[in-house]
Amino acid sequence: MEAIVVTAAEGAVKTLLGKLGSVLARQNQLLGGIRGELQYIKDELESMNAFLQSLATTSSHGVQVKIWMKQVREMAYDAEDFIDEFQHHFGGSCGDGMKGFSHRMKHLVSALKARHRIVMQVQELKIRAQDVSDSIFPEDYKIRRKNVVQRWMAEGFISEKRGLSAEQVAESYFTEFVNRSIIQPVDISDSGKVKTCRIHDVMLEVIVGVSVEQNFVSLQGDQYIMTSHDKVRRLSLHGNGAYTLSTSLELSHVRSLSSFGDMPEVVSFSEARFLRVLDLESCEFLRNRHLKQICALFKLKFLSLRSAHNINRLTGNIRNLKSLETLDLTGTRVDKLPDWMFDTIEEAPDTVTQWSEQENWEALLAVIEKLSRCLRSLSIETDGRTFSLPLDFSSSPPLLLQSLLLYERLEVLPSWVASLDSLVKLTLGGTKMKDGDIQVLQKLPRLFSLRLWFAFGTEHFVVGCSGSPNLQLLAVQGWDGPLEITLEEGAMQRLHRLVLVVSYRSGTLKSVKGTKYLQSLRTVEIRGKSTEPMEALLQELRDEASHLPNHPTVIFKKV
């Protein structure tokens, strides 16, 4: 398992090569000597990168190779920090800043020549390189897939590959870790995708040991004691913050800072000026005033304030985070986004979410239209009890959506929903669907999961003979009056699970007809009050289930 962290060196070198190429492209802004030194560094790094790629054929390596790999990684990180700081302060132009930059580059050239001699000595050695898995998380911690994928991209571990986006590559690596049992799935989505996972205790122990040894990550809190390294690159804090950070700890080289539980209040974010990833989930000590320091982190790409309950507004300085790709505000008390935030979105995130603010509505719709050609997931929740907002797009509805959640008091289904041919997952809440809307939904060709919460304005739910051909989950909860469900022969032939929840006092489940045609059915779950009509319906469903190929289970739960 020691090879898990090896590829961090290759990732660091690739990132640096890209930045050097960008700097070298500015020919008219570089002094001759500087340009020559940068070109030498780039050439050497390309040679090192080729060597790193050639080390991917065997499963063991010696101490000398391990030391060399660590040196390459640390050198690449230092060089990247130099270039980032230079570009941030001097914009890549020549001037007084060039003197300091030149001195640092000469130091790197000397270091590279020494590294080159080591490379020549170990050319015959090869290593099995494997993509880096985050050992940063505590034992038994439920890790969100999206969190891991976004962190990998933010740190530059992942790059585009053979026509795949960085996110697609990251997702494929995550799947590989699952398939190889390095991580264990915990929560699975309706579509069968892993939502959360854990790292096996034994596997985590091995990964942590190697990661700490290689200075890939430094851990403190709970059972961990800070391991001494010259430079801390990734710092993970565990526990409730009731521990003291080492007075010798310098944050100036930290690229990733994560806190699980609370963290010591003595942490000064302004010292960690090269942070790419800052994960402050559930930090109770965090206050609005801390955001001023955080917003000075010019390289920050990933910022999670999830469940930081004391954060209730965003400072205007957050617009200084020019590199930010992920901002997680779930579980905070922030209920309004600055208008300028909508205007500055240039590339589509994986998900656009808006929770309630009526004032932001037009800006939100404009952003969705702007991202319509690449947006894949959209979640909109409003307080439908107090206001209802239109979901009409003037020119460009998001027709490539794969996931859509609408908790909104809609009197009619938006017309563009009928054109969502790529939609896999749909959740509707608070809508007043009529018969025509139900007909629209069953014609969506790829729909895999359909959840309808308090979404009915009709007493009949009818799915035609060829309706919902790929649907595997249908969950219906909450309706007024008696509801009749009719599934015609040939409908929903891939349905695995049917869930019906009678939650309104005035709601009753009058009949469920046609389950005998559902050849793929595995489970029928009904929740409601135990009454004679309900018992009779359950018996009818069990009788039909006994004749189906999978002999589906009929479950009843009292509510």
For the record, the structure tokens of 439 come out as 């007909």
- DSSP letter for each residue of 93-128: --STHHHHHHHHHHHHHHHHHHHHHHHHHTTT--B-
Pairing relationship of beta strands 143-144 and 183-188 according to DSSP bridges? unpaired
Q: Using an 8 Å Cβ cutoff, are 471 and 494 in contact?
A: yes
Q: Using an 8 Å Cβ cutoff, are 327 and 311 in contact?
A: no
CA distance 243 to 505: 52
Count CB-CB contacts under 10 A for residue 316.
Answer: 12
- When pLDDT is averaged across residues 271-288 and rounded to a whole number, the result is 89
Of the CA atoms within 13 Å of residue 245, those in its CB half-sphere come to 21
- Write down the residue that tokens 């989950």 correspond to: 473
CA distance 280 to 11: 25
Count CB-CB contacts under 10 A for residue 260.
Answer: 21
Q: 212 in helix, strand or coil?
A: helix
- When pLDDT is averaged across residues 178-184 and rounded to a whole number, the result is 84
First to last CA, the chain: 49
Longest dimension (CA), the chain: 90
Q: Which helix (H) or strand (E) holds 220?
A: strand 218-220
pLDDT of residue 344: 61
- When pLDDT is averaged across residues 85-93 and rounded to a whole number, the result is 57
- When pLDDT is averaged across residues 262-277 and rounded to a whole number, the result is 81
CA distance 456 to 442: 15
pLDDT in tens, 339-364: 677 666 555 455 555 444 555 677 77
CA distance 208 to 214: 10
Give the closest residue to 8 by CA, choosing from 52, 61, 44: 52
Q: Which residues pair with 487 in a beta bridge?
A: 463
pLDDT in tens, 505-533: 677 888 999 999 999 999 999 998 888 98
SS3 content of the chain, % helix, strand, coil (to 5): 35, 20, 45
Please give the residue that has the higher pLDDT: either 73 or 380: 380
CA distance 209 to 225: 12
pLDDT of residue 277: 93
Query: CA 405 from chain center: how many Å?
Result: 17
Q: Which residues pair with 553 in a beta bridge?
A: 523
CA distance 23 to 39: 10
The phi and psi torsions of 503 (rounded to 5 degrees) equal: -115, -25
